[in-house]
Amino acid sequence: MTVTISVFEQSPDRGKGLARDMPVRWALEEVGCPYDVRLVSFEAMKQAPHLALHPFGQIPTYEEGDLRLFESGAIVLHVAERHAGLLPADGDSRARAVAWMFAALSTVEPPIVERSMAMLMESGKSWHAQRLSMLDDRVRQRLGALSRRLGDADWLEGGFSAGDLMMVSVLRRLASSGLLDEYPNLSAYVARGEARPAFQRAFDAQLAIFNALSQGFPQ
Ligand code: GTB
């Protein structure tokens, strides 16, 4: 059955692979599932045809036959459950790998997103530096705990899993902050994820959309 995902027609991250279609693409590449892409503009995202796929008018969405899904975590979990390669066979290990997916999205990511929003929306405010320092410390609390748990292991739950895929995707959002450099084992963990051939294919595919678009722009 053909899989179609929706992605930004014009991603604000300018091809850095930080939008949330990236983990979905990466998961599909890891399991060897081909997929088509529907490019959606910011305008089209808020119109009825796309809202029928995504109640909040966002990307990514996932279509496969009669199945329509939204939420990158739910999509990655669906892909991981339907194909071999992203979840351990043993039930307990599998449950722990799924727990890491949730940890990535609901424990590690919120302070990272809050920091990104502060950088984007509040950098001109007189109190920005003070608030940023507080937000940095909140991110550090999560990174410190994650770093201690990962230790010198390659991945969070034995072999590479959907839990690592989501965690690396979330940590990549810190690239420009410098915070990850304070935790060498986490920097190495992200680099290991990014070095996977499936990650590279996913990254190149989203970058190709940005490059095609920029060729249409006057320099
Ligand atoms: N919880 C949902 C999920 O995980 O799927 C969140 C989906 C979401 O936030 N989608 C964003 C979107 O559609 C794009 S990815 N936004 C349009 C809108 O809400 O109108 C978030 C994102 C955007 C840009 C960058 N960036 O520029 O670096 C990174 C991440």
- Taking only the tens place, the pLDDT of each residue in 90-131 is 999 999 999 999 999 999 999 999 999 999 999 999 999 999
pLDDT digits (tens, 9 = 90+) for 17-64: 999 999 999 999 999 999 999 999 999 999 999 999 999 999 999 999
Ligand 1: list residues with CB < 6 Å: 12-13, 18-20, 45, 57-60, 71-73
Q: How far apart are CA 114 and CA 165, in angstroms?
A: 21
Q: Which atom of ligand 1 is nearest to the CA of 75?
A: 5
| Domain residue extents for the chain | 3-85+198-214, 91-196
Residue 155: the pLDDT is 98
What type of residue is 59?
I
Q: Whose CA is nearest to atom 1 of ligand 1?
A: 71
Please give the biggest Cα pair distance in the chain: 54
| Residue 216 or residue 5, greater confidence | 5
| Atom of ligand 1 minimally distant from the CA of 58 | 13
Domain spanning 91-196: CATH 1.20.1050.10: yes
Atom of ligand 1 nearest to the CA of 59: 13
Q: For residue 209, how far is its CA from the centre of ligand 1 (angstroms)?
A: 17
Q: Ligand 1 centroid to 8 CA: how many Å?
A: 9
- Domains 3-85+198-214 and 91-196 are alike in CATH topology: no
Model pTM greater than 0.95? Answer: yes
Give tens-digit pLDDT for 69-97. 999 999 999 999 999 999 999 999 999 99
**Distance between Cα 152 and ligand 1 center (Å):** 32
Q: Which fold has domain 3-85+198-214?
A: Glutaredoxin (3.40.30)
Candidates 142, 145, 149; CA nearest to 107 is 142
Closest atom of ligand 1 to 60 CA is 5
- Identify the residue whose C-alpha is closest to ligand 1 atom 29: 19
Alpha helices in the chain (DSSP H): 21-31, 42-45, 48-51, 72-82, 91-103, 109-121, 128-150, 162-171, 184-194, 197-216
- When pLDDT is cut at 50, 70 and 90, the band that residue 214 belongs to is confident
19 is written with which tokens?
A: 């939008």
Instruction: For residue 79, give the DSSP letter.
Output: H
Distance 11 CA to ligand 1 centre (A): 9
> pLDDT by residue (tens digit) across 183-207?
999 999 999 999 999 999 999 999 9
Mean pLDDT, residues 123-147 taken together: 97
Which residue from 134, 148, 143 is spatially nearest to 179, judged by alpha carbons?
143
